[in-house]
Structure 1
Amino acid sequence: MIEILKVIVLGIIQGITEWLPISSTGHLIIFEQILSLGDPKFFEVFKVVIQFGSILAVCVLYFKRLNPFLSTKSISNKKETWNLWGKIIIGCIPAGIIGVLFDDLVEDVLSGTLVIAIALIVYGIAFIILENTKRRVRISRLEDLDYKTALGIGCFQVLALVPGTSRSGSTIIGGTILGCSRTVSSEFSFFLAVPVMAGASLLKLIKFGLNFSMTQVIWLLVGTFVSFVVSIIAIRFLLSYIRKHDFKIFGYYRIILGIIIIITLFI
């Protein structure tokens, strides 16, 4: 029973932190110290596989927008949807290549708690600086996003391979720097997550194998379901929040959390 409660808490953390720009992997690695599931190798798989719940949340919320086969869509709308998928694929190429090549390096060298803390602080400062800088928004609708900008955002997504940076944080910062509005940057970040996170989850499953005990299977299913439900709430919250506010609050949160982690390490 206690282990199931741990899994639920970890699923909640995944669902919230995957979409808010505060680093899901960083939070999961930190909280795993408190909410240990026993086998460290299984936890490596667990924290990636429950991302399927977050992916499913995007697919459900944006089903009509991402589905090019809907009979209710006109030919032009279907073409527009295929065009969006083309941009998503282009944006995923950099992270896909670098992720496969350096997956072991990230796990072995860059997954330390100090690295996570530093990444939290650095990106927190980046968000605050970005919001304090005057910028011209040239892309206020997702339909106006061009392939070059999509690839540029994809290059920023590569930075998220370092735990603590945040995949959504990297792509949102990238989109903002490249002239996208907060809403466009956030929504394209959601869409980029679908193939990237699905690929990362499948890669982790292949490397680990399917040698799960029945208990571990239950943990994965529960964690994925909780992640799905919480992700829907988190996505809706973020889109509603950024209509009236900027990203500074997330920057301050990241800095404070990073400092607390560093202090804890040295104490």
Structure 2
Amino acid sequence: MDFFHAIILAIIEGLTEYLPISSTAHMIFASSYFGIQEDDFVKLFQVSIQFGAILAVVALYWKKFLDFSKFSFYIKLACAVVPALVLGYIFDDMIDAVLGDPIPIAIVLILGGVVLLFIENFFKSPTVYKEEDITIKKAVTIGLWQCLAMMPGTSRAAASIIGGMQQKLTRETAAEFSFFLAVPTMAAVTVYSVFLKTYHQTGLKGYELLTQNSDNIKMFLLGNAIAFVVAIVAIKGFIGVIKKYGFKPWGWYRIIAGIALLAYFVINK
């Protein structure tokens, strides 16, 4: 992977991480299209640049994250992230295996798009209009929904937003809580990938891969900076779209993108 590839992947991460369209599916397509070799450093890079996307949420909602007088906010996030931490650790190797086959990921992308087209018909009459009204029980339930995203192509954002709407959150509140929940979830995944996980091809830890040479460190820093800036734009745009149009535009996008990816990978298999 060179710097051009790093920039492309970072832009994709920033654009797609908080949208219900699956950053994983887009990363896989980009890697295949641009001929990016799927080695241990690439796998680490794709996860580690989530740190920049995390900082984008903290920067946009800094009043929420830095208001230490509202301890219940942190309790909700801590409780909601537990299911993903436990199941993610248990199924880590299985998830890596699925990532090797893009066809089922494209199919999941399409099916998720169909769900988004009709999601608002299923969950009507919301009663929760702000984060303060989300109970710990609702937060944990949303966290369980988020675990559906362990199937690559599902989208962590889509799963947690649907979970929020199932728990009677408005679509805007569900989207914002999805952003909040992403911070501890992605932070935990990033820490695990960088400091704890041993990568199969090289037998190295993530931080050892990063420090192998100066280019790896530079790509890591550049990727996170780009993901941070792009994610800020994407989050603001997403909130504006769902307020005006709901989730149907994202549903149609997933279906069209999924069909295109399916055709691409079937032809090039």
After TM superposition, the score normalised by the length of structure 1 is 0.91
Question: In the alignment, which residue of structure 2 is the partner of 1:209?
Answer: 206
Kindly indicate whether the alpha-carbon contact (under 8 Å) linking 2:109 and 2:154 is maintained by their aligned counterparts in 1: yes
Label 1:4 to 1:137 Cα distance change in 2 as closer, same or farther (>3 A). same
Provide the C-alpha distance between the structure 2 equivalents of 1:10 and 1:117, rounded to a whole number of angstroms: 18
**Is the partner of 2:21 in helix, strand or coil?**
coil
What's the CA shift for 1:228? 0.2
Distance 2:38 2:220 in 1: 14
Q: Distance in 2 between matches of 1:53 and 1:139?
A: 30
Q: Give the 5 Å matches for 1:101-116.
A: 101-116=90-105
For 1:130 and 1:39, the matched residues in 2 are separated by: 35
Residue 130 (structure 1) aligns with: 119
| Equivalent residue in structure 1 for 2:129, among 140, 148, 156 | 140
* Residue 245 of structure 1: how far off its partner (Å): 1.6
- Counterpart in 2 of 1:120? 109
Aligned equivalents of 2:47 and 2:35: distance in 1? 15
Mapped to 2, the partners of 1:129 and 1:111 lie a distance apart of 30
Within the alignment, does 1:172 sit opposite 2:161 as a pair?
yes
* Aligned partner of residue 266 in structure 1, secondary structure: helix
Shift of 1:111: 4.4
What's the CA shift for 1:5? Answer: 2.2
Q: CA deviation digits over 1:23-71, x for unaligned, max 9?
A: 11121121111234445211110000000000001111111111134xx
CA 1:5–1:23 in structure 2 vs 1: closer, same or farther (change >3 Å)?
same
Partner of 1:150: 139
Q: Which residue of 2 aligns with 1:194?
A: 183
The Cα RMSD (Å) is 1.5
| 1:75-106 superposed Cα distances (whole Å, 9 cap, x missing partner) | xxx1xx21111111111011110001111111
Q: Is the 8 A contact 2:113 2:250 kept in 1?
A: yes
1:262 aligns with 2:267: no
Distance 1:134 1:191 in 2: 21
Does structure 1 retain, via aligned residues, the 8 Å contact 2:103–2:266? no
CA–CA separation in structure 1 for the residues paired with 2:226 and 2:35:
18
Matched letter for residue 13 of structure 1: I
Matched position secondary structure for 2:245: coil
CA distance in 2: counterparts of 1:35 and 1:266, whole angstroms: 17
Moved more, 37-46 or 233-242: 37-46
- Residues 101-127 of structure 1 deviation map (CA, whole Å, 9 limit, x = unaligned): 111111013542012101101111111
Cα shift at 1:130? 1.0
| Aligned-pair identity (%) | 39
Task: Please give the TM-score of this superposition, normalised by the length of structure 2.
Answer: 0.91
Kindly report which structure 2 residues correspond to 1:34-45, keeping only aligned pairs within 5 A, or say none.
34-38=33-37, 40-45=39-44
In structure 2, the CA distance between the partners of 1:234 and 1:90, relative to structure 1 (3 Å rule), is same
Partner SS for 1:140: coil
Taking the aligned partners of 1:4 and 1:249, their CA distance within structure 2 comes to 32
CA contact (8 A) 2:98 2:152 kept: no
Match of 1:99 among 80, 88, 92: 88
Q: How far apart are the structure 2 equivalents of 1:248 and 1:260?
A: 18
Q: For structure 2, which runs of at least 5 residues remain unmatched after alignment?
A: 198-204
Give, in whole Å, the separation in 1 of the partners of 2:99 and 2:147.
14
2:215 and 2:37 mapped to 1: Cα distance? 12
Deviations 1:196-220, CA, capped at 9 Å, x for gaps: 1011111111223322321111111
Are 1:54 and 2:53 an aligned pair?
yes
Distance in 2 between residues matched to 1:241 and 1:175, nearest whole Å:
18
In the other structure, the counterpart of 1:75 is none
**Separation in structure 1 between the aligned mates of residue 150 and residue 188 of structure 2, nearest angstrom:** 13
Q: Number of residue pairs matched?
A: 256
Matched residue, 1:240: 240
Structure-1 separation of matches of 2:38 and 2:101: 18
